[in-house]
């Protein structure tokens, strides 16, 4: 598995949210699709950041109104991204060193897929 590219592990179905989507809309999409995080993109489709379940928990812990705040206001900016040909081992090392659970897979500025720590765990279930 160490020599495989991350493209073999990533999920190709990507469900980004818009930077100007309300938190309520972001939550609805994440719940509907069973997501723990979503890339946040601008109008041109460039990845600006990610919103995770933890970001949403922190948001609600502050008692804020999800209809009055937007994805760009709570997302983690400039997520770590890798190319589809990066090795699985390289991406795993990067995630552990950075202490993150989500990586965006991009080819240039095009969003190609997403990888989470759960995707690594799933490889051991087969």
- Mean pLDDT, residues 38-42 taken together: 93
> Mapped to the 3 state alphabet, what secondary structure does the chain carry?
CCCCEHHHCCECCCCCEECCCEHHHHHHHHHHHCCCEEEEECCCCCEEEEEEHHHHHHHHHCCCCCCCCEHHHHCEECCCEECCCCEHHHHHHHHHHHCCCEEEEEECCEEEEEEEHHHHHHCCCC
Residue 2: its pLDDT value, please? 59
Provide the whole-model pTM.
0.83
pLDDT of 1 above 70: no
- Segment 77-117, tens digit of pLDDT: 888 899 999 999 999 999 999 988 889 998 888 888 888 88
Residue 117: its pLDDT value, please? 86
Percentage of residues in the chain having pLDDT higher than 90: 56
- Mean pLDDT, residues 8-31 taken together: 91
Residue 126: its pLDDT value, please? 60
Residue 105: its pLDDT value, please? 92
Percentage of residues in the chain having pLDDT higher than 70: 98
Please report how many Cα atoms fall inside a 13 Å half-sphere around the Cα of residue 14, on the Cβ side. Answer: 23
Considering the four listed CATH numbers 3.10.580.10, 3.30.70.20, 3.40.50.620, 3.40.50.1220, the one that applies to the domain covering 6-122 is 3.10.580.10
Contacts of 42 (CB under 8 A, 6+ apart): 18, 19, 48
Domain residue ranges of the chain, discontinuous segments joined by +: 6-122
pLDDT of 120 above 90: no
With 0-12 / 13-18 / 19 or more C-beta atoms within 10 angstroms meaning exposed / middle / buried, residue 10 is buried
């Amino acid at each position: 598995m160490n020599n495989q590219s991350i493209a073999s592990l990533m999920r190709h179905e990507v469900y980004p949210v818009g930077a100007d989507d309300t938190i309520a809309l972001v939550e609805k999409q994440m719940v509907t699709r069973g997501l723990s995080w979503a890339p946040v993109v601008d109008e041109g489709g460039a990845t600006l950041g990610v919103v995770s379940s933890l970001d949403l928990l922190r948001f609600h812990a502050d008692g804020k109104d999800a209809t009055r705040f937007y994805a760009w206001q709570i997302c983690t900016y400039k997520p770590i991204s890798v190319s589809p040909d990066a090795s699985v081992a390289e991406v795993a090392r990067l995630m552990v060193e950075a202490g993150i659970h989500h990586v965006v897979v991009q080819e240039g500025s095009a969003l190609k897929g997403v990888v989470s720590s759960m995707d690594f765990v799933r490889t051991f279930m087969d």
